[in-house]
Amino acid sequence: MIHRPTTRALSTLTGLVFALMANNAMADPAEPETDPSPAELSPYSATYSASMSKGITLNGAGKRELSDQGNGVWLYRTEVDSFIADINESLVFRWDDGQVVPLRYRYKLSGLMIKDREQAIDFDWQAGVASGHYRDEEFELELADGVLDPLGFQLQLHQDLKAGKRDVIYQVIDKGDYDDDRFAVLEEETLKLNGRTVNALKAEKVREDDSKRETLMWFDPEQDYLLVRLLQVEPDGSEYELRLKEAEI
């Protein structure tokens, strides 16, 4: 059965924290911006330190890479290695006039202290259908224009910030359903990172008023708006953090 797009409550931003490491809603939010011209897509490779504090502190490392496969097709990959889990996440997509057009999304998590899980989504734009599975559940959804996947929306956010947008909403297929995810830039903030000073754009995932989960992101305009830090605070006080170690742009 094909389900039409619906909006669910905002989910956790596990994708942006590489799904392992990986609320304050803004009052009277402005309408999402749509006017700035699309930013050029550029290959890059970045490595991150990843930490989780939940009673004990666990550390790991993550790598994210964007590469041009030719003929308008790109590959976006994330890998995380840690004591408790390994994560492999990838997206094959087209880049069309400033928009990520997902074609094939794959995600796999395996570890000692968590349940293994997998997700796969295949986007058939000609037929207008996305099909796949999450854990042991198969799904099929009618495709909406501009819809993204759990990895592609992160790249779209990066590109939209680079293009000058400061308040955006994305419709994302995740776990067999549609989510609406909103992000807004809060301010410019100075960070100390790897021995240098970074004047970063600080952004948040805008959540419902009563949400106790908070996700904050910092992007460096001098490094092509690369994500340089991410902090997620859970309702129980647990913290998940990514910090950029090095990048090739």
CA distances from 183 to 115, 130, 229, 249 (A): 29, 24, 15, 24
35 CB-near residues (< 8 Å, 6+ apart): none
CA proximity to 241, closest of 47, 21, 86, 81: 21
Give me the tens of pLDDT residue by residue for the chain, a chain 249 residues long: 554 443 232 233 334 344 433 322 222 334 444 456 788 899 999 999 988 776 556 678 889 999 999 999 999 999 988 777 788 999 999 999 999 999 999 999 988 767 889 999 999 999 999 999 998 899 999 999 999 999 999 999 999 999 999 999 999 999 999 999 999 999 999 999 988 999 999 999 999 888 989 999 999 999 999 999 999 998 988 888 889 999 999
pTM, entire model: 0.82
Domains of the chain by residue range: 44-182
What pLDDT score was predicted for residue 243? 93
Q: Mark residue 103 as left, alpha or beta (left: phi above 0; alpha: psi -120 to 50; beta: remaining).
A: alpha
Residue type, 18: F
What pLDDT score was predicted for residue 55? 55
CA proximity to 9, closest of 235, 246, 209: 209
Residue type, 139: F
- Cα–Cα distance between 85 and 7 in angstroms, integer? 30
